[in-house]
Amino acid sequence: MPQHTRPRPICGHCDGFPTVAVTTGQTTPTGHRQTITANCPACHGTGHSLPARTFTRVGV
């Protein structure tokens, strides 16, 4: 089976799930649970580790 290689590596901080819904414990006036979304601080909600734009080979 073909395995698609992702162009960018998955963010190791959130493991590819950059945005999560967090219940606040409160309910909206309509009775639904109120949730807030939080983005991964490491990848800022992209789900991928930051591409090495300033690509510099360190070393020899």
Binding site for Zn ion (CB under 5 A): 11, 13-14, 18, 40, 42-43
Burial group, residue 54, by CB count within 10 angstroms (0-12, 13-18, 19+):
exposed
Closer of 15 and 28 to Zn ion (Cβ)? 15
> To the nearest whole angstrom, how small is the minimum distance from the Cβ of residue 54 to Zn ion?
19
Closer of 12 and 33 to Zn ion (Cβ)? 12
Residue 48 is classified by DSSP as: B
* The residue type at 8: R
Closer of 20 and 34 to Zn ion (Cβ)? 20
